[in-house]
Amino acid sequence: MAESLEGRPADLPVEGGAFVAVVGPSGAGKDTLMNFARDALAGREDVFFVRRVITRPADGATEDHIPATAEAFEAQLKQGKFAFHWPAHGLKYGLPVEIDTRIRAGHCAVCNGSRAALQGLGERYANFTVINITASPDVLAGRLALRGRESEDEILRRLARSANLKVDWPGAIVVDNSGDVETAGRALVAAILEASAKSSET
């Protein structure tokens, strides 16, 4: 379960800028598109990409996160170092508390999201947008097979689970990454800028 916001302080929800959660099933190419968008928006001070704290070692193959042991994560949690945190897939995820300062200053945070955290994040941030990266089942299966981490049966089971986990969020923006990276990457950049522009109008 994501962090409960019951009894939350008066300064929530966080207003000013925007929070963009980018979600998508394994094989959709979420990390690849996030890297594309990060490079494309590198010159903009009003858009920043969140490095999540995760209880998983850095491997250079997945997202550029801040690794932490389970003990270190709990210590940071007790010290109030996280703006938001949640468990998923046997791991713990935390968002550095500093992101709230930048959002209150009118900036747009872009974060690799999780379906399990969307409800809580939507309650915490006044200007909240979900971008769902998708791809056709054949493309997903092919990409997962190229990773070589799972058997064919395991891949089929993963795809079946993904099909049952719909991202049902009002106004969610869908980016299809079944084709070339540049086309989907530009669509992701446009969606991020759209979310950022909406926040400046509120």
Could you tell me which residues are annotated as the binding site for ATP?
24-31
The residues facing 88 across adjacent strands are: 91
Distance CA 88, CA 194 (A): 29
Cβ-based neighbours of 11, under 8 Å, separated by 6 or more: none
Annotated binding site: 24-31
Rounded to the nearest 10 degrees, how much is the dihedral formed by the CA atoms of 40, 43, 47, 49? Answer: 60
* Whether residue 13 has a cis bond before it, omega within 30° of 0: yes
Token pair 């046997």 is found at 90
For residues 105 and 16, what is the distance between their CA atoms, to the nearest angstrom? 6
Greatest CA separation found in the chain?
50
CB 173 within 8 A of CB 192: no
CA dist., res. 117 & res. 119, Å (int):
6
- CA neighbours closer than 13 Å in the CB half-sphere of residue 53: 22
